[in-house]
Chain A
Amino acid sequence: MSNNGLKSGSNLEKVLRAGHFAFTGECGPPKGANVEHLKEKYEHLRGMVDAVNVTDNQTAVVRMSSAAASALMAADGIEPNFQMVCRDRNRLAMMADVLGVYSLGVRNMLCLSGDHQKFGNHPQAKNVYDIDSMQLIAMVKKMRDEGKFLNEEEIDEPPKMFIGAAANPFADPYEFRVYRLANKIDAGADFIQTQCIYNMPRFRDFMKKAVDMGLTERTYILAGVTPMKSARMAQYMAKMVPGMDVPEELIERLKGAGKGKQSEEGIKFAIEQIEEFKEMEGIAGVHLMAIEWEHKVPEIAERANVLPRPQID
């Protein structure tokens, strides 16, 4: 499949290949089979982003499967970025789901380790971790490029996925983070979406290292942005979310905005970030994770001047 040299032909891939500043969104499937609820969420994102990440039992809380929600979105004309974690499936189920979602029109996927089930609403569950995120990336690449399953058997119609991976520049040990990113690129990550960024100095340093190592020549890095709704949310994330770096200055800035104006201040900060990312060397786009705030995405996209989204055939 030549496909103009594209690996998957997904919209996200085309946008990135064409050199546009990509803008992706996120949508958590409902805690139930309520398709209307799912639609309501993703409709806010229509036309605003190049692809929508569909989370996979995010924070280990059971929801409609990311595979089904991704397929529903694809059928409704919104490009999904199917997330898959290593916590819940072994390699058989993973390969089967990759084939399944591909057959239903999904062309992007994000390969993740997944939060440990201890965080979630079924901490009693057995954790699978048959393979890890690095091996998942390599497996999906093998399926796509070699047309083979892990066991070397031929795949009848290989799934042509645009392969994504996550990077968290804020987890420890910091010195190793850029090497882990390099490993993911070696394993086959076509694009990277980072953890939510709040500590800009540290992220600038991380990106400088990535650029110096030549990593940004080999993959597209989308910077993760989650607008803070309030100083309380910022405090919660700083304290409770492992691997999240929320500087005290940001919390103070949100507090300083005063009651009723904190969410606006949070959005302002997010827009400033997006503006900086547009100029930052090695950054190919922004991944906007407006958690339970999908309806704010059009406003943020508008104010960040990322509209209209490019249409590429």
Chain B
Amino acid sequence: MIVADRKPLEEILDMIKECNKILLVGCKGCVTVCNVGGAKEVGILAASLKIARKKDGNPIEIDEKTLERQCDPEYVEQIRDIFDQYDAVLSMACGVGPQFLSEAYPSQTFYPALDTKFFGGAVQHGIWEERCAGCGTCVIHHYDGLCPIARCSKSLQHGPCGGSADGKCEIAKDVECIWDKIVKKKMEQGRLEDLRTIRAPKDWQTARDGGPRKSIREELVQ
């Protein structure tokens, strides 16, 4: 899923400082699963903003709405009747949400309440980790299901670099060296020879480096 963090309250307060009435829109997709932008978090953020503004002597009115998803035009339509009743709309979806909203409602102003971070999953309750860089050409089978593109700080295709120590990356002691894991897994399986291959430089055209991307499935296009 897409994993995001909520922006600091101060930053959100600053974004909406000129507004007296806003709509706070959550999303029941990824950000609900990673506990940052679902109905519950919408309620918490709305209450927090209202308390902060009330304390400042400048109360704000906030209506809450959580859409099925903010990345589908049909669900984005769900605020068609109300969107213009507000000074601004604050989206608690990933970066896709406020964009789909602003494309659907060009006359309204949309603000992001979240910082979208990565494609990943929960490794334990409350901790999410990056797993995929969305490079557009999956190569994890070369590395026994461990992606060095997303998980090595240098995206090395031939690691580990000289900074790998005790299974940790040189950048920080709390960052695992994925290459240490890859090598150890290969050794355990007696397949170290797999890592004796020199791979061609990666073709980054399928990644963001090739420009904004699009996926077209002809059979579905009407």
Contact = CB atoms under 8 A, between A and B. Distances in A.
Direct touching of A and B (C-beta under 8 Å): yes
Interface of A: 86-87, 91, 113-116, 118-119, 127, 129-135, 138-139, 150, 166-168, 171-173, 175-176, 179-180, 182-183, 186-187, 195, 242-243
Interface string B20-36: 00000000000000000
B158 A116 contact: no
Contacts of A113: 154, 156, 161-162
Nearest to A195: B162
B155 interface: yes
B181 to A, nearest CB: 10
Interface of B: 153-167, 170-172, 177, 180, 183-184, 187, 192, 195-196, 198-202, 204
A86 B152 CA distance: 14
Given A173-B184, A176-B195, A132 B162 contact: no
A139 B201 contact: yes
Given A175-B187, A179-B196, A186-B198, A115 B170 contact: yes
Given A91-B201, A129-B154, A150-B201, 20 more contacts: A113-B162, A114-B154, A130-B201, A131-B201, A131-B202, A167-B162, A168-B162, A171-B160, A171-B163, A171-B164, A172-B160, A172-B180, A176-B160, A179-B192, A180-B158, A183-B198, A186-B198, A242-B162, A242-B170, A243-B163
Nearest to A132: B156
27 contacts: A113-B161, A119-B171, A127-B153, A129-B154, A132-B155, A132-B156, A133-B161, A134-B158, A135-B158, A135-B198, A135-B199, A135-B201, A168-B162, A171-B160, A171-B163, A172-B164, A172-B167, A173-B164, A176-B160, A176-B183, A176-B187, A176-B195, A179-B196, A183-B195, A183-B196, A243-B163, A243-B170
A88 to B, nearest CB: 12
Contacts of A168: 162
Contacts of A176: 160, 183, 187, 192, 195
B162 A166 contact: yes
Contacts of A242: 162-165, 170
Given A129-B155, A131-B201, A173 B160 contact: yes
A293 B161 CA distance: 27
Contacts, number: 105
A138 B198 contact: yes
A164 to B, nearest CB: 14
Contacts of A187: 198
B40 to A, nearest CB: 34
Contacts of B199: 134-135
3 closest residue pairs by CB, A with B: A168-B162, A134-B158, A242-B170
Nearest to A139: B201
A156 B204 CA distance: 26
Nearest to B197: A183
B29 to A, nearest CB: 28
Contacts of A183: 158, 195-196, 198
B165 A243 contact: yes
Contacts of A186: 196, 198
B133 to A, nearest CB: 11
